A and B are shown apart, each in its own frame.
Chain A
Amino acid sequence: MTAVAPEPGPGDGGASHCPGCGRPLAPGPGGADAGHCPGCLPPLDPPRFCPACGRRLRVLVSPRGWRATCRTHGPLGPDF
């Protein structure tokens, strides 16, 4: 899927939604600073929602990695 990401994207300090639940992140520690809501993204889970827009991601988990793609923002970068 082609990225059309004019908005701030994941990994560039612009995350505005929790990748675990998709809700907008509250500012400050435990929210935007942490990159996800408290307890929302278990350590062994890939992101489920786009950090830029909160849409559900298409996630492919393979034995050695994962790929997550937003219909609007394209693939999440490896620095997520």
Chain B
Amino acid sequence: MPDQPSSSPSCSTPSGRSTTTPRTDAAAGSAPGGSAPVALLRRPSGEAAASCPVSLPPTLSPQEAQEALADAREALLGERRLLRVEELARLAALPDDQVAALGALAHEVRLDRLGPTVEVEGILSAKTGGCPEDCHFCAQSARFDSPLLATPMLDDQEVLQAAWETKASGASEFCIVLAIRGPDERVMARLLELVPLVQRTTGLQVAVSAGILTENQARRLAEAGVHRYNHNLETARSFFPQVVTTHSWEERAETCRLVQRHGMELCCGVLFGMGETPAQRVELLGQLQELRPAEVPINFLNPRPGTPLAERPLVGAWEAIRWVALARLALPGVLLRYAGGREVTLRDLQALGLTAGINALIVGNYLTTLGRSPEEDLRMLEDLAMPVGALSAAW
């Protein structure tokens, strides 16, 4: 596995907003009125590895920036349609001094679609480490020399205890996460017991993240009462092979479609900061527009010792706010959830994300790392006059 993913030559550079690459219309062609803007999910036949179909324009001038923001505002709040990929690329080329304006527009759009409510969730790694996959960002892969000790699946009492901790944090959702490629029959049997048990005992909505599913597994999980199924795309199709080689981006997208087909809400997250270019981030947002998830967790890479991405730099805090805002503008009706890496990436700017498009939080600890205290997050929401409650997407 490469130590540092490199950029596709057809995409902008990692600092790419100043690239002089001419904007192309390769990603254009899209459908107004809320339908998916461009066919980014389909791989051209016979193509072994995808190239990024998006290019960013050079950094916009002040006049161009004002026009881009006004156009986006009219599209989202006037015409009430999704932004096209080329419109998102233009917004991604705003200069740094326009990120606050971008965030303000994203906040306006969030309030328009979903109001001020913030959904709170707790998560638990119910089976840690030993995963056969090679996701380069993940400390739970058995392929890397990570300090994590692989542990078997937790018992009912340990899972219930974590669910009660979640409930005590004011959360409405609890996600049971397993570090596996996909569930075998033994794991399925455990999940089919656990999900109704947690739901019945705590009253929480239960989400599951257990990797790649078959049609039959998706159906059974839905029947067992799984509210949301998490399966992240993580990154753009054109970048994915540089961070995962043991399964394909298309396999992930297929599981996402299965989840929706069987009536579960799709939670499909992103991970920024793995070496992808800004153009590839825009590509990813376009691909999410096509998948239409209910929830999009936003993760920022927190480089893990022993993984191939251990030496990657953190995403800059201001840059992170830019991409939170762009995600909201690309996906105006989704639950956009702060997830892993926010503490180390955003530091003192965490509250700013909630006025730039975020309307959901993972509170407390993450799967294998710690977060800040739920009380700090709840106080932040109180200070922002944002009530806590359950939400559904408004596509």
Task: Please indicate the chain B residues that have their CB under 8 angstroms from the CB of A45 in the complex.
Answer: 369-370
B48 contacts A by Cβ under 8 Å? no
Which secondary structure dominates chain A's binding surface? loop
A24 contacts B by Cβ under 8 Å? no
Interface size class for chain B? 20 to 34
Whether A63 contacts B363 by the Cβ 8 Å rule is yes
| Selected contact of A59 from candidates B148, B158, B302, B364, CB within 8 Å | B148
A 16-30 contacts with B by CB, 8 A: 20-22
B 333-390 contacts with A by CB, 8 A: 343-344, 363-371, 374
Task: Please indicate the chain A residues that have their CB under 8 angstroms from the CB of B128 in the complex.
Answer: 59-60
Whether A44 contacts B344 by the Cβ 8 Å rule is yes
Whether B147 contacts A58 by the Cβ 8 Å rule is no
Task: Please indicate the chain A residues that have their CB under 8 angstroms from the CB of B158 in the complex.
Answer: 60, 62
Task: Please indicate the chain B residues that have their CB under 8 angstroms from the CB of A65 in the complex.
Answer: 165, 365
Whether B365 contacts A58 by the Cβ 8 Å rule is no
Whether B124 contacts A58 by the Cβ 8 Å rule is no
Count of A interface residues, CB-CB < 8 Å: 20
Minimum Cβ distance to chain A for residue B157 (Å) = 12
Expressed in whole angstroms, the Cα–Cα distance for A61 and B149 within the complex equals 12
Task: Please indicate the chain A residues that have their CB under 8 angstroms from the CB of B302 in the complex.
Answer: 44
Q: Which residue of A lies closest to B341 (CB)?
A: A44
Q: Which residue of A lies closest to B303 (CB)?
A: A42
Whether A63 contacts B124 by the Cβ 8 Å rule is yes
Minimum Cβ distance to chain A for residue B127 (Å) = 11
Whether B147 contacts A22 by the Cβ 8 Å rule is yes
Expressed in whole angstroms, the Cα–Cα distance for A60 and B364 within the complex equals 14
Whether A64 contacts B154 by the Cβ 8 Å rule is no
A 37-73 contacts with B by CB, 8 A: 42, 44-46, 48-49, 56-66
Expressed in whole angstroms, the Cα–Cα distance for A21 and B306 within the complex equals 10
| Selected contact of B168 from candidates A58, A60, A64, CB within 8 Å | A64
Binary interface encoding of chain A residues 4-37 relative to chain B, with 1 for a CB under 8 A from any of its CBs, else 0:
0000000000000000111000000000000000
Minimum Cβ distance to chain A for residue B223 (Å) = 27
5 contacts between A and B (CB under 8 A): A46-B369, A56-B147, A58-B149, A58-B151, A60-B158
Ranked nearest first, the 9 interchain pairs of A and B with the lowest CB-CB distance are A63-B364, A48-B147, A63-B122, A56-B149, A62-B162, A64-B165, A63-B165, A44-B370, A61-B365
